[in-house]
Amino acid sequence: MSKLAARQATPAVRLPKKSFRQRVVIDFRKNWVIYAIALVCLSYYFVFRYAPMGGLAIAFKNYRPARGLWGSSWVGFKWFEQFFSSYYFPRLLRNTLTINLLSLLIGSTLPILLALLLNEIRSSAYKRTVQTVTYMPHFVSLVVACGIVLDMLSYGGLFNQILGLFGVSPILFSNVPEYFPWIYVFSDVWQNLGYNSIVYLAALSAINVELFDAAAIDGCNRFQRVLHVTIPGIMPTIILLLLMKVGSMMSIGYEKIILLYNDAVLERADVFSSFVYRYGMLGGNYSYSAAVDLFNNVVNILLLVVFNAVSRKVSDISLW
């Protein structure tokens, strides 16, 4: 009998299959450094993100610090009903949506435009200079940035000095309610324009250069190459970032709001986060403010789920 026939006649020996526990132990021993790094990240999210969620129960209680979380009495949806029927609910909803929609339209479009313009610059020195100048405001402290904005909008500020050249009387912009959403949005654009464009510049660098060469051979000018090659190439990045912005449509950081607003513009400046800060931290109405914040976050989650499903169905691009 030949060796080949002998091997064919010999039954194959099957090694015992490792159990799930054994595979996990082997993988942990092999990649324990990666698991240690991941443990630090998971610990952060557990301690500072998930563990505090137990405190959401105060939104359904008449919370008193002296009685503690479990000693306070349950009141059900009392605080939600009180908030929805109050004068503040429509005002907060209008102001939050107005500022966020303006930020979505302006604050999301300008970084894309800046990235497209920087991508077309051939001089590397000029490109680096523009990038540095546009990145710098992002690293300025928020308190300092808001102080600069208020100083520029004051009676003797830059904008009134420019208006004075045309014979226009000084305007205290920071005290005009209708101007506040625009002040917030454009100050945010000024501070984060260059930094937000980094993601789009990275996406632009990943586009195959041969596509531009093929478009040039087909007779496309520079604008047509941007329209038919560049923008479709970064469209997945645009959609993903847009989805993340929609997921925070009802959220605005209270820090910048309270640094820019005053009693004169409260009617147009007050949003959910500043209301929660004012009633919770300053007023001591913890249960009421927790109910408002919980409603805010639930709406954000619903918006994210809905728009993610729509994006997945329309463009096959989604977060999950």
At the fourth CATH level, the homologous superfamily of domain 86-315 is MetI-like (1.10.3720.10)
CA torsion angle for 206, 210, 211, 217 (degrees, to 10)?
A: 150
By DSSP bridging, strand 73-74 and strand 61-62 are antiparallel
Q: Contact at 8 Å (CB) between 102 and 186?
A: no
CA dihedral (287, 292, 295, 300) positive or negative: negative
- Which tokens go with 33? 């450094």
Nearest to 100 by CA among 238, 264, 271, 266: 271
pLDDT score, position 8: 53
**One-character DSSP codes across the chain:** --HHHHHHHSPPPPPPPPPHHHHHHHHHHHSHHHHHHHHHHHHHHIIIIIGGGGGGGGGGEE--TTTHHHHSEE-TTHHHHHHHTSSHHHHHHHHHHHHHHHIIIIITHHHHHHHHHHHH---HHHHHHHHHHHHGGGGS-HHHHHHHHHHHTSTTSHHHHHHHHTTPPP--GGG-GGGHHHHHHHHHHHHHHHHHHHHHHHHHHTS-HHHHHHHHHTT--HHHHIIIIIHHHHHHHHHHHHHHHHTTTT---HHHHHHH--GGGHHHH--HHHHHIIIIIIT--HHHHHHHHHHHHHHHHHHHHHHHHHHHHHHS----
pLDDT digits (tens, 9 = 90+) for 272-286: 999 999 988 888 888
Domain-wise residue ranges, the chain: 86-315
CA angle 310, 313, 318 (to 5 degrees): 70
Sequence-separated (6 or more) residues with CB below 8 Å from residue 235: 315, 317
Question: How many Å apart are CA 286 and CA 63, to the nearest integer?
Answer: 7
In 3D space, the residue among 255, 260, 250 whose CA is nearest the CA of residue 274 turns out to be 255
Q: Which of 122-126, 127-131, 153-157, 247-251 shows the lowest per-residue confidence on average (mean pLDDT)?
A: 247-251
Mean pLDDT of 105-129: 89
Single out the residue of 131, 113, 111 nearest to residue 123, CA to CA: 131
Other residues' Cβ atoms within 10 Å of the Cβ of residue 30: 10
Name the token pair of 41: 């990240």
Higher-confidence residue of 315 and 16: namely 315
Which tokens is 188 given?
A: 């945010």
Tell me the backbone φ, ψ of residue 61, rounded to 5 degrees: -130, 165
User: pLDDT tens for residues 147-172?
Assistant: 999 999 988 888 999 988 888 888 88
Whole-model pTM: value is 0.82
* Whether the predicted pLDDT of 84 surpasses 90: yes
Q: Are 179 and 268 in contact (CB under 8 A)?
A: no
pLDDT in tens, 10-37: 555 565 677 778 888 888 888 889 999 9
Question: What percent of the chain shows pLDDT beyond 70?
Answer: 95
Please determine, for residue 191, whether its predicted confidence score (pLDDT) is greater than 80.
yes
5-14, 137-146, 181-190: which has the minimum mean pLDDT?
A: 5-14
Three-state DSSP class for residue 74: strand
Q: Which of 260, 65, 54 is nearest to 149 (CA)?
A: 260
184 pLDDT above the threshold of 90: yes
